[in-house]
């Protein structure tokens, strides 16, 4: 469950970064993190993909914990 929440937050962060980047705003700088230009260009995709991976890890954990009938 925790992995799903964290993954969802990362995905939402990536989407917010993408939308704000299209409007010319730097989400990372607003929270006090300075990224190199090459990383900043892809930071939204990195966050979305990392969030998806973390979310899927949470799904896999829940499947293993579910009682088998």
Note the pLDDT tens digit of each residue in 9-56: 999 999 999 999 999 999 999 999 999 989 999 999 999 999 999 999
Cα separation of 21 and 15, whole Å?
10
23 domain-assigned: yes
Tokens of 44: 């939204």
Indicate whether 69 pLDDT > 60: no
Number of domains within the chain: 1
Distances (CA, A) of 58 to 5, 11, 42, 54: 9, 14, 25, 6
Q: How far apart are CA 16 and CA 21, in angstroms?
A: 8
Residue 37 maps to a domain: yes
Return the closest-CA partner of residue 13 out of 52, 59, 39, 56: 52
Domain that includes residue 57, residue range: 2-63
Assigned domain for 69 exists: no
pTM beyond 0.85: the answer is no
Does 9 fall in a domain? yes
């Amino acid at each position: 469950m925790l992995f799903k929440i964290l993954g969802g937050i990362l995905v939402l962060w990536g989407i917010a970064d993408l939308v704000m980047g299209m409007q010319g705003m730097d989400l990372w700088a607003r929270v006090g993190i300075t990224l190199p230009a090459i990383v900043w260009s892809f930071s939204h995709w990195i966050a979305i993909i990392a969030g998806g991976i973390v979310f899927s890890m949470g799904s896999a954990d829940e499947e293993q914990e579910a009682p088998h009938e």
